[in-house]
Structure 1
Amino acid sequence: MAMKIIVNVFGTEFTLKRPVNLDLQSPTLRDVLLVLQRDEQGPWQRMIKEDLSLQEGCVILVNGRNIASLKKLETQIHDGDEITFTVLVAGG
């Protein structure tokens, strides 16, 4: 079944908001990341490691919620969901 999600990337050097079409049945975030990893030009490559762990200071949100408060990489993804890759920034 085809589904469409939105992928956002907010970094210190780039911003991206792009619809992504997937042909996956009941995908988890892990499944989506494996698909995104195939696009070597995607800016999310700077945020996720080859083993799908996050670079230090990076966070993934699904519909505005940190995946650490969900089921991490096993979080179910649904048609219309929004996945955001971002970098934590602190200042004072």
Structure 2
Amino acid sequence: MNVRQRKLEMIEAMNRARALEPSSFMPNKLLDTLIQKMHLKNDAELCRVLEVQPPIISKIRHRKLAVGATILLRMHEKSDMSIKELKELSNASMH
């Protein structure tokens, strides 16, 4: 087995392990609540309101990207929800 194959196997193993890790980051509740409170239809409208590219919201929704400070501030400004509320929604448990 060459070095490239080993590297690929290691990356795949890390990705599998990461997928099994419990995480408190639950972006769907945050994004769905924003859509509901702002009377939007879908993620595309949320992108327009927040002035971000659709892949950003998609990556957040699929837990590939955390909600950064800039997007959190935009969510706060556009929705009039407190930052504390927004952070609690993104860390809410699924139970």
Bigger CA radius of gyration: 2
Bigger share in helix: 2
